[in-house]
């Protein structure tokens, strides 16, 4: 009987020891921004892609990309709709947050979206950064990508003071920043007015089944455009040498 009791106690004791070590939670890259970054439906061979939708192709194995960007959102509405709060619920030490806004912050006629680039736009960016750091995570800013807008054969920015405001916040708070405004402007210049159509949603009538009457969208990216922007971001953040978890070259 004493032997049986001894064996029982041994089994009971060992049962409290996990047989398999718990896995460490994987690093997560959260992406917050607007439609130029957001995931788009792949139903019916939709040609539209946000650059965050394809970014996982550039990150290290085992790293999870959570693309929380959403079409039509500004810094203001991303907070007001509780989207940022949802990120904060699961954000943990060692994670990353890539922040790109500006396109919809411009819309003065829509007060639920609009922010002044010199005041509340900066304040919202600062809030994202401070909240991220308070969680022990790592913020990275990105200026907004160019719209496909040419004048006299050269790309012209339509984003006003928002890219510069982003760069100023990055400098003030010592946050890594990727100047996608500059990089995508250079990409458009290199591609040319005609060649750059392939980076956006440009279809002539009958060219694509989803757009029988054609489509000429100079704001939203094709899959090729999304991959090009993702590569520009990845190459640039690699040069910053901040430990961002990218695939090895």
From 23, 89, 174, 213, active-site residue: 213
H or E element that contains 202: strand 200-203
Nearest to 128 by CA among 140, 110, 118: 140
The answer to whether 70 and 76 are in contact (CB under 8 A) is no
Tokens for 230? 């993702």
**Contact yes or no for 168/125 (Cβ under 8 A):** no
Does the annotation mark 213 as catalytic?
A: yes
Rounded to whole angstroms, how far apart are CA atoms 62 and 144?
28
Give one DSSP letter per residue of 132-175, joined into a string.
HHHTT-EEEEEPPPPPS-EETTEE----TTHHHHHHHHHHHHT-
C-alpha span between 34 and 38 (Å, rounded): 6
35 noted as active-site residue: yes
Angle in degrees, CA 113, 170, 115, rounded to 5:
15
The residue written with tokens 């639920």 in the block is: 112
CA distance 139 to 30: 9
Residue in 48, 103, 220, 222 annotated catalytic: 220
Q: Which residues are catalytically annotated? A: 35, 213, 220
């Amino acid at each position: 009987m004493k032997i049986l009791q001894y064996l029982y106690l041994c089994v009971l004791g060992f049962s409290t020891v996990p047989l398999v070590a718990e896995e460490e939670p994987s690093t997560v890259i959260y992406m917050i921004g607007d439609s130029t970054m957001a995931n788009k439906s792949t139903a019916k061979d939709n040609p539209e892609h946000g650059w965050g939708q394809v970014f996982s192709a550039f990150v290290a194995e085992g790293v999870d990309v959570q693309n929380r960007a959403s079409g039509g959102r500004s810094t203001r509405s991303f907070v007001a709709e509780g989207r940022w709060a949802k990120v904060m619920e699961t954000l943990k030490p060692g994670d990353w947050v890539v922040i790109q806004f500006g396109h919809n912050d411009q819309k003065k006629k829509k007060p639920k979206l609009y922010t002044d680039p010199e005041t509340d736009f900066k304040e919202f960016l600062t809030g994202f950064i401070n909240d991220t750091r308070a969680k022990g995570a790592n913020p990275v800013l990105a200026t907004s990508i160019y719209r496909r807008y040419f004048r006299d054969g050269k790309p012209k920015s339509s984003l006003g003071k928002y890219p510069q405001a982003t760069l100023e916040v990055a400098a003030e708070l010592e946050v890594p920043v990727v100047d996608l405004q500059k990089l995508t402007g250079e990409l458009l210049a290199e591609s040319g007015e005609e060649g750059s159509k392939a980076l956006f949603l440009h279809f002539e009538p009958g060219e694509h089944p989803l757009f029988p009457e054609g489509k000429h969208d100079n704001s939203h990216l094709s899959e090729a455009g999304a991959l090009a922007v993702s590569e520009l971001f990845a190459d640039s953040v690699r040069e910053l040498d901040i430990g961002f978890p990218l695939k090895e070259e």
